[in-house]
Structure formats: structure tokens, C-alpha cells
A and B are shown apart, each in its own frame.
Chain A
Amino acid sequence: DTEVTQTPKHLVMGMTNKKSLKCEQHMGHRAMYWYKQKAKKPPELMFVYSYEKLSINESVPSRFSPECPNSSLLNLHLHALQPEDSALYLCASSSGGTETQYFGPGTRLLVL
């Protein structure tokens, strides 16, 4: 099974809302990632978890809060977002730092 699943597929939220994005993989991968992608741009790395520990935070604003409850799950908690945070949020996983990353279908987020 080389699938990474993400929920929800679409999310509309107001600037005062709190919501969470979820990601799951069952490939036994030790690394999981969150990316943000704006239209017609490449994905931008936000966070990397390695062995369930946060190893990379690419200076992401604190209104984005990642969580890795176990080796298969990755969450991204959202609070007090801005309209410019509207984007496609992609989750990925890999077996190692230089290996293939497997991406989920993404959550398309709209902040009003």
C-alpha cells in the first residue's frame, strides 16, 4: 500500500476558526512532511517529522501547529489563519531523508 490519505479534501474557514488537517500513511515510513502549495507554484516545505519528533520547522507562523500522535498519523492544527494562507496543503511520507516522498491528494483550504 503506497497510499497517503488526507482529510478533509476541501476546507473553508473563517479567520477566527480552529480546524485540523489530518494525514495518514501505513507504509511504515519514518518521515512525514507538511507542504503548502499556492496556485502555479511548487510545494513549499513547512514541517518535517522524523521518528515522530519535529525535526524541521521552516519558520512557519505559530498559527500553524503540527502534531504527530504516532508513526502513521500527522495533523496540522490551524488557528487564526489569514486569507493569504489559502492554499493546497500536502502531506507526504518517506522511508528516509533522501528517498522518494509519497504525497497525499491534498486539502484545499480557503480562509475567508
Chain B
Amino acid sequence: SQQGEEDPQALSIQEGENATMNCSYKTSINNLQWYRQNSGRGLVHLILIRSNEREKHSGRLRVTLDTSKKSSSLLITASRAADTASYFCATDGPISDYKLSFGAGTTVTVRA
């Protein structure tokens, strides 16, 4: 079942600009993860943020988590053409049962 919802569905930005996408979910979670997928290939894990964390950084990526609002955001700073991809948030459930629920995804296009 799809728990996460993402917005916007699509985003087009100029190289060098920042890209922000949001994810909302419905039930309590242990962790929230962000993945990137290039052009119908496998998903690449970007970052995992635990429910007791509020912000996490990895290189040009910044993820925030607000468990009271059941929402997360992914910020990509100083975007590059290579960041063109679909980005998915994924949440687990309150029970650690191996299931990840993926959001619908945000398609990001970075124009040179």
C-alpha cells in the first residue's frame, strides 16, 4: 500500500538552483528514507532519517522530518544535470515487518 504522498509531482529547475520536494505519510514510522531513480533503472538509496531525528545532511542533500505533521522534505542544493531523476520517499510502519511504502515520487529535471 502507498502510504507516502509527494509533492510536487514534477519539478523543473535551472542548474545551480535548489530543488525541494515534500513527502507526507499517514501512520507512525520508525524511519523515513529517500531514494533516487534514474530513467527506469534501480533505486539508489540517498538518506535514512530516524523518527527521533529532525534533520540530516549528506553532501548536497538535506532532509528534515516533522513527525508531528507526518511530513518530510528533501532539499538538493546547487543542482546538477546529473540530479535529473525521480525521487521517492519511503516509510516503514510502526511494526518492523520489512515493508516499505513508497510515495508516488517527484520527477526532477535539471536544465543546463
A contact residues vs B (CB 8 Å cutoff): 4, 6, 31, 33, 39-43, 45, 48, 50, 55-56, 88, 90, 92, 94, 96-106, 108
Which residue of A33, A56, A102 contacts B97 across the interface (Cβ within 8 Å)?
A: A56
Query: Are A42 and B99 closer than 8 Å at their CB atoms?
Result: no
Decide if B25 is an interface residue (CB 8 Å cutoff): no
Query: Are A101 and B100 closer than 8 Å at their CB atoms?
Result: yes
How many angstroms from the CA of A33 to the CA of B43 in the assembled complex?
13
Query: Are B48 and A100 closer than 8 Å at their CB atoms?
Result: yes
B contact residues vs A (CB 8 Å cutoff): 2, 30-31, 33, 35, 40-45, 48, 88, 92, 96-100, 102-105
How many angstroms from the CA of A94 to the CA of B45 in the assembled complex?
11
How many angstroms from the CA of A106 to the CA of B42 in the assembled complex?
6
Shortest CB distance B107–A (Å) = 8
Query: Are A94 and B98 closer than 8 Å at their CB atoms?
Result: yes
How many angstroms from the CA of A108 to the CA of B40 in the assembled complex?
9
